[in-house]
Structure 1
Amino acid sequence: MERAAPAGPAVVAAGGLSASEVVQRLERDGPNVMPTPRAPSALVQLGLQLVHFFAIVLWVAAGLALVAGMPQLTVAIAVVVVLNGVFAFAQEHRAERAGARLADLLPPRARVVRDGAVVEVSATDLVVDDVVLLEAGDRISADLRLDRAVSVAVDESMLTGESVTSRPELGAVLRAGTFVVEGVGRGTVTATGGRTRLAEIAALTRAARRPPSPLSVQLHRIVTVVAVLAVATGVVAFGVSLLLGVEPAFGFLFAVGVTVALVPEGLLPTVTLSLARATQLMAGRHALVRRLEAVETLGSTTFICTDKTGTLTRNEMNVVEVWTPAGTVRVAGRGYEPTGQRTGGAAAVVAATELARSAVECVHGRAVLAELTPFVVWSLTLGHVPLALSVLQILALDIGTDLLPALALGAEPASERVMAGPLHQGALVDGVLMRRAFLVLGPAEAVVEMGVFIAVLVHGGWVYGTVPGAELLALASGGAFATVVLGQLANAFACRSASRRVGAWSLRGNRLLLWAVGVELAFLVVILGWPALAAVLGGSMPDLAGWAMALLVVPAVLAADAAHKAARRWGRRRAQPA
């Protein structure tokens, strides 16, 4: 049965507006479009990706390298920062554009009564007092007052969160962005464009200040500590070299080398690419992530407090706990029915973010000691033992050999226990990681590295305190470089599990890691076997004896890892009450 709203001063005649009245209102109020704030230009957005704190640290390192007379190192670091910035910009810009399409919630066309006739017009041409005809399937284009209705039902879930359709009374205001799911009706436009309730909600969301994500806070803290430590160590190294009688120019080069060795140049692209992969996983589940760091924030979430409709999920919700005056009741069921259900969407997020964290921790942490040890040995021996690795070799290790294994670890299949127990709530770099990196894996790799370097020198006739020939030094340096790379690859396998040793699970469980190891081995052969590149970085292809000694780092790292994990298991068992 059709119902009609009582006549009033705001009710327009049944014939609708005239063409001249429409023009006047368009001139007065403007088109019916959602107001969009002026976004920063793409160039500005790209620039912001190049000047955040971590990028600034790398720019400073590049500047120091230029001052020290190492333009190749400067170019390499600059390329890392620029490529990472471009990738992060492209990822977020694409998501921003997808988010901007939300403005298309307003339909492109609407049926109105004008000059006594029913016409179809663009939704942007709707004006206040327009008479709009409604039927099932129409998305409402502007705020309007319902004047006539025949069994009209409206889905307002986008604004109210209520999944159940409403049946508005005559005279009620229907909001822009909702849609008619049943019946037919007629309404008069009361607000358009920026004056609609939808525009007000959009303005509130834009006005909200975005707090820093947990990951950005942790990374900022890490980078700050690393930057201070690197600069302080470089200053001390320069002072020590001057006290030892080293020429200032060479002492400065040594200090720059120490500083660069302590800056994890590969950490920035590793974090970006790991989060980008998690973003793609979420996109596969139809979840749009506009900012990369939001992935880690979602993975760190323990509880989501929302209303009964579960709008944040799928417009439905499972009741798991009910608070009553008599106490708390736990419920297992689907919706409000106690029939039992479990979903796995959250597990994908947790797995992606935890594995990205694992990749960052395991691959970058302990490499610092292996890279810094040659400089420490050179300093402690007053230069009587040559530098095992050049600064450019260290950069190649940070960027070339760390990146792919870290990304592959980010693709590690989730453990069955990923959703069991509490989330990791500690610091990104905690005591366990520091002990693992600097007391277990780092020393094992550094000892083998320097052992290979000195053994190759001695085998070639070098005597302590003398300056080895260029060919012999390149051969020994190549052996040390190969040792560090092989040690890093062994460590990547060890990082697949935080509690089980390598061999306790299938090595084929992560095929991407196998591919990454293969690519890194090929990269190692190219660096050492391509004469032009080897001449720039320093180092040459080891002989058979050098390769045999370098391979010893694999069992050394795996044995140290297994012993450390066994000791932790033993400690946890002792801590458990009898």
Structure 2
Amino acid sequence: MGVIRPVSGGPAPGYSDRVLGSAPVGLTSAQARRLLDDNGPNHLPVQRPMPWWRVLGAEMLHFFAVLFWAAGVLAFVAGLPQLGVAIFVVIVLNALFAFAQEARAQRASEKLRQMLPRRARVIRDGISVEINAEDLVVGDAMLLAEGDRISADGEIHRAAGLAVDTSAMTGESVPERPGVADAVYAGCFVVEGEALVVVTATGDHTRLAGIAGLTSERQLPTPLRRELTRASRVIAGAALGVGAVFFAFSVIFGMPVAQGFLFAIGVTVAVVPEGLLPTVTLSLAMGAQRMARRHALVRHLEAVQTLGSTTYICTDKTGTLTQNRMSVVRAWTPRGAAVIDGVGYQPTADVVVAPEAERAVRDLAAAARRCSTGRIEQADGSWQARGDPMEAALDAFAQRVGVLDTTDDRADQLRFPFDPRRRRMSVVTDGHVCVKGAPDAVLPLCRAESGAHAALTELTGRGLRVLAVAAGRTACRADRPTSPQDVEKDLTLLGLVALEDPPRPSVPAVLRTCRRAGIRVAMVTGDHPDTAMAVARETGLRLEDTDREVLLGSQLPDDLDELGALLDRDGLVVARVDPETKLRIAQALRRRGHVVAMTGDGVNDAPALQAAAIGVAMGRSGTDVARAAADVVLLDDNFATIVTAIEEGRSTFINIRRFLTYHLSDNVAELAPFVVWALSAGRFPLAIGVLQVLALDIGTDVFPALALGAEPPDKRVLDGPPVRGHLLDRAILVRAFLVLGLAEAAVALLAFTATFVAAGWRPGQEFTTGALMWSASGAAFTAIVLGQAANAFACRSDELPAWRLSLRTNALLVGAVAVELVLLLVLLYVPPIATALTHTGPTTAGFLVAALSVPAVLLVDAADKHRRRSRKGPAALARPRSGARR
């Protein structure tokens, strides 16, 4: 190794002698080349992404899609190519839509790689040179200055006034002040000072690379995917069972085996609700659009419903529950105290101080400002921090109490930067010294400190960050070398300054709503436990009557089951949490059965965001890495937006149940003609055919189903815990098959029969074929469509009859039903579509009977709802619901 020598006749540009020193440091070019060849370049490992065809294949071959593939193949076998093609198109479109969402883990890792800077300055061959950051090797002497992003992990060899912003990595809201032999990490920022760092890890051995590996963890299936898989199994089992029964009947009644098999296939396909898959996808897309209008950007469609299933929220503190704006709120002096009520970094505020303490508070503020490195400045119409947020807060404090001098900018000052071992800094101007730092590092240097300890206890008990400020006289001069110990003695305590990072005003109400909704909330942060506890109490996360201690990340159990049991309660505060611990917290809670939403905005949050059931990132203050790993991005960084997103998620789950009921209802009406045909041994003709079933499922049914997916949230959707039942349960099956479906089926068969009766047919006679048969089939088809039109309004509520629901709350449904009726006329009367389906429309008698489907469905539905409310007692009968007419 060579000694540091001047560059082009002068010192290394931008670095002081305290950093460069004179001791040998750095590598030779030859050593660096060998190490680079041996260990590889300094970049994050590139994980080989899954081939696109495998990702697309996974979307086309999940169980729900396989059900429809089978239905499409069976349609071709049964001689119904139009039906088969339509089903295949639906599957492919859905797969392509979902395919775009599946590169999240790879994008998160890519964002992490982009965090590393392209250039770095090092000592090579004894001189300062700038190199590509990828060429850094272990042992390099890396030079850091204010504004640099650190390129590799390292150990500080020398430093002067160094402050490092690690908030994106650790969650700590205030920049750290590392000293000699302390570690710094790739991806962090230097916000103040300078340092010479010996590189200890590069590339895939850095701490940043460890986080990149954690973000690549594969996610478990979402609750919606699991429920759709279960529903598809139920539907598939029912379809196969019905097909087998009809195959047996057809053989028993003398139909040739081959023909009976094809007939059974047609029935099987008819039982599968082909319109369900696109309706689910489009409903989720509409939910995502509604969330976007409410400042929640959904990056993964199934996250819409997953949010509604959330039972546990793990939230970060800095920038999520708080505003990430340090502010002086209290000041104590021996002559009295002051309370400062200001907004952000604005230089004006309401200051409450006793007259006898006014001058002492100003002296305190002036000394604190003189001994700080941050400033506030006006930019883009608002006051912002320049430098360390805490240091800038001292400048704002001074201006708020009327201190406007600029002696801190004088060139003849002697400054001793903050040192993590001394835990204080000092400034000498014209023989006057100001010292600022941790109270336990400043108070012992003061001649008198009467009352300071009591004040310190009171302020820290509020969870405030406290600094002590002292002043004195010194004979030391700025132009003569000296040491901090020579000036930091025989001081007079000016007072204590207490700072806070204020919580967002909306958070307490949001937390109350979460509790009302049965959602547990825990703060999971890398910050100091006292600060975290203070924010928890101020926001209402930690209730005053609880005496639980703050949990520390380092003290959490390693066993996931034990950890899950420890965390399974509301209002927890977990502090000093690193990325790996956050990930384990998400895993432990999911293992305990919780649907976990993890919020965050920093790099440290990315692994847990990826592992949680729902990752929620901040859009404004969040890092690209966090946004790439999340399912939902809050565009306004407002914690309250989570509540509106959960409300939309719950509403989406309810809406999916609504249109699932709607789709399954007409399956009964579609199947009933086949049942009657089988029971009559073929003597009663089929009222509708398979192509008419297709026209219903992916034609007339689709628009009302989508409109049901747009039903607005019930005002009481957050009153009570999330629905834990299945998407397809006994209640839906009973309502769809035994109530709504039977009403439609009865009217459809009645309309079919009435057409023949009006033409002179009587029981015991043979049914005629030809035009009359087509008209009767058109009447049955019309009855089902009209019944579904009424059913769309009936499915809006599980409790109230359709006529008690306001149409204004879902005007889209009115338009959708109108489109459905227009489609009915097209399918009945416009060739060549009408020719392929019914050949002709219903007769007058057939249409009049078919129209009875509307009152039949509405009245049967109302009776069933009244019966179910009666079983719950008088309170349920009298209780109004959102959407009811007032």
Q: Distance in 1 between matches of 2:150 and 2:639?
A: 36
C-alpha displacement of 1:538: 4.0
CA contact (8 A) 1:2 1:149 kept: no
Q: CA deviation at 1:390?
A: 1.1
Determine which of 455, 462, 465 is the counterpart of 2:754.
Answer: 455
Shift of 1:519: 3.2
Q: 1:199 aligns with which of 197, 201, 209?
A: 209
Could you say what secondary structure the match of 1:188 adopts?
A: strand
Pick aligned residue for 2:724 from 425, 438, 444: 425
The residue that corresponds to 2:412 in the other structure is none
**Could you say what secondary structure the match of 1:422 adopts?**
coil
Q: Does 1:401 align with 2:410?
A: no
2:645 to 336, 348, 356: 348
Q: Is the 8 A contact 1:132 1:187 kept in 2?
A: yes
Instruction: Pick which of 430-439 and 508-517 moved more.
Output: 508-517
Q: Distance in 2 between matches of 1:120 and 1:192?
A: 17
5 Å matches for 1:303-382? 303-305=312-314, 318-322=539-543, 324-325=546-547, 343-352=640-649, 353-382=652-681
Counterparts of 1:265-276 in structure 2 under 5 Å?
265-276=274-285
Q: Distance in 1 between matches of 2:293 and 2:233?
A: 35
1:117 to 1:454, Cα distance in 2 relative to 1, 3 A: farther
The equivalent position to 1:73 in structure 2, one of 47, 68, 83, is 83
Change (3 A) 1:184 1:364: farther
Instruction: Determine the C-alpha separation between the residues in 2 that align with 1:27 and 1:288.
Output: 44
- Determine the structure 2 residue equivalent to 1:61: 71
Select between 494-503 and 277-286 the one with higher mean Cα deviation. Answer: 277-286
More strand by share: 2
- More displaced 10-residue stretch of structure 1: 249-258 or 440-449: 249-258
1:573 maps to amino acid? G
Letter in 1 for 2:872: R
1:561 aligns with 2:861: yes
Q: Does residue 389 in structure 1 map to residue 610 in structure 2?
A: no
Given candidates 770, 781, 798, the residue that maps to 1:498 is: 798
Q: Does 1:485 align with 2:788?
A: no
Corresponding position of 2:302: 293
Match of 1:337 in 2: none
Which residue, out of 104, 121, 124, partners 1:112?
A: 121
Change over 3 Å in CA distance of 1:257–1:39 after alignment to 2: same
Q: CA deviation at 1:239?
A: 0.9
Partner of 1:42: 52
Q: Tell me which residue corresponds to 2:828.
A: 528
CA contact (8 A) 1:388 1:476 kept: yes
> In structure 1, which of residues 434, 442, 453 is the aligned counterpart of residue 741 of structure 2?
442
Residues 130-145 of structure 1 aligned to structure 2 (within 5 Å): 130-145=140-155
- On the 8 A contact 1:215/1:293 being kept in 2, the answer is yes
- 1:342 and 1:113 mapped to 2: Cα distance? 43
Post-superposition offset of 1:488: 1.9
Deviations 1:255-309 (A, max 9, x none): 1232112212222222233333444555667767564434433321112246766
Change (3 A) 1:103 1:307: closer
- 2:270 corresponds to which residue? 261
1:152 counterpart (157, 162, 165): 162
Per-residue deviation, 1:443: 1.5
Report the secondary structure of 1:189's partner residue.
strand
C-alpha RMSD of the superposition: 3.5
Per-residue deviation at 1:314? Answer: 8.7
Question: Which residue of the partner structure matches residue 517 of structure 1?
Answer: 817
Contact 2:307 2:645 in 1 (8 A): no
Whole-Å separation in 1 of the counterparts to 2:727 and 2:749:
30
Return the offset for 1:67: 2.2
Which 10-residue stretch deviates more, 431-440 or 520-529?
Answer: 520-529
Q: Distance in 2 between matches of 1:457 and 1:234?
A: 29
- The question of 1:221 aligning with 2:230 is answered yes
Give the alignment's TM-score, normalised by structure 1.
Answer: 0.85
- Range moving further from structure 2, 106-115 or 375-384: 106-115
User: Cα gap change, 1:310/1:566 in structure 2, threshold over 3 Å: closer, same or farther?
Assistant: farther
Query: Aligned partners of 2:775, 2:283: CA distance in 1, in Å?
Result: 35
Match of 2:615 in 1: none
> 2:488: which partner in 1?
none
Per the TM alignment, residue 37 of structure 1 is displaced from its structure 2 partner at its CA by 1.8
**548-557 or 414-423: which moved more?**
548-557
Structure 1 alignment gaps of length 5 or more: 332-340
What is the CA distance between 1:417 and its match in structure 2?
A: 1.1
My pick for the range that moved more, 104-113 or 471-480, is: 104-113
Decide whether aligned partners of structure 1 residues 504 and 111 sit closer, same or farther in structure 2, where only a CA change above 3 A counts: same
Provide the rounded CA distance (Å) in 2 between the counterparts of 1:157 and 1:142.
Answer: 17
Deviation at 1:330, TM superposition (A): 9.8
What secondary structure does 2:122 align onto? strand
Q: 1:95-149 CA deviation, whole Å, 9 max, x = no partner?
A: 5665455335514433413556666555444433444444444433322333444
Q: Distance in 2 between matches of 1:285 and 1:104?
A: 32
Mean Cα displacement is larger for which, 41-50 or 217-226?
A: 217-226
Separation in 2, partners of 1:396, 1:553: 18
Q: Provide the secondary structure at the position in 1 that maps to 2:221.
A: coil
Q: Is the 8 A contact 1:271 1:356 kept in 2?
A: no
**Could you say what secondary structure the match of 2:832 adopts?**
helix
- The share of aligned pairs that are identical, in percent, is 49
Q: Distance in 2 between matches of 1:356 and 1:136?
A: 54
Write the letter of the residue equivalent to 1:418: V
Q: Distance in 2 between matches of 1:491 and 1:122?
A: 67
- Of the two, which has the highest radius of gyration? 2
Bigger share in helix: 1
The residue type paired with residue 396 of structure 1 is A
Distance in 2 (alpha carbons) for counterparts of 1:314 and 1:445: 57
- Rate the CA distance shift 1:148–1:290 in 2: closer, same or farther, 3 A: farther
